[in-house]
Amino acid sequence: MNRIQKLFKEKKENILSIFITAGYPHLNDLPQILEALQENGVDMVEIGMPFSDPTADGPTIQYSNTIAIQNGMTIQKLFNQLKNIREKIHIPLVLMGYINPALQYGFENFLKEAAHVGIDGVIIPDLPMYEYENMYQTSFKENGIENIFLVTPQTSNERVLQIDSISDSFIYVVSTHSITGTNIDLEAQQSTYFNRLKQLNLKNPTIIGFGIKDRNTFELACKNANGAIIGSAFVKHIEQASNLKESIQEFIKGIK
């Protein structure tokens, strides 16, 4: 049982996951950000691997990717920053990124190194399910890394159930067909999309992301899933922070 599975076994609701782009606002900020998030009661952190064309992301996270790349962040530098992180950080850590940089790094090496530094799961939106099952699933299992799939309002029940059958951690429920950072009417989604997913009786817990930005949207998401992921709002909040620790504490207090 890895840290993600342990989290969902011990805590069934109101799970707060925060997304941060590695190398943003400054190249070496990530360890300090992880410590502050853990200290303030965040349950899990999604670490974005900067990419030049993050197609699922809106302007805020696209901008953070651009800045992180300009700061010099790479996958290798990210792994170097994380190599001793488990001496202080015990909450689950998930890498989020796109397939091209992982392939350039060497996918087997990418998974091996991720496991070595204590990563629990990976979200790769543009990794097709067929390729995962036929090319990479064995490597994920051997390295103890969970592959986390996304579902959207357009995902058919059949595909959702197929994703559920090959998942062992949680399913990322994208609240809309739009990009990150969009204003979403979660209540409208609740009556159709979220209820449809509930009726499928999935074996895996669910986390809602995209459009979660404050206490109200977090609480509404948690009524429809085991928890929620906040990304763009957090990234924007820390952009000009003069004191990261205090800024993060302020943000999390506003959510919880």
Query: Where in the sequence numbering do the catalytic residues fall?
Result: 46, 57
- How far CA 127 is from CA of 19, 69, 133, 231, 241, in Å, comes to 20, 22, 10, 21, 34
Q: CA-CA distance, 136 to 140, in Å (whole number)?
A: 6
Distance between CA atoms of residues 1 and 70, nearest Å: 38
Distance CA 204, CA 161 (A): 10
- For the four alpha carbons of 242, 248, 249 and 252, in that order, the dihedral sign comes to positive
The C-alpha atoms of residue 23 and residue 230 are separated, in whole angstroms, by 18
The structure tokens listed for 59 are: 């302007």
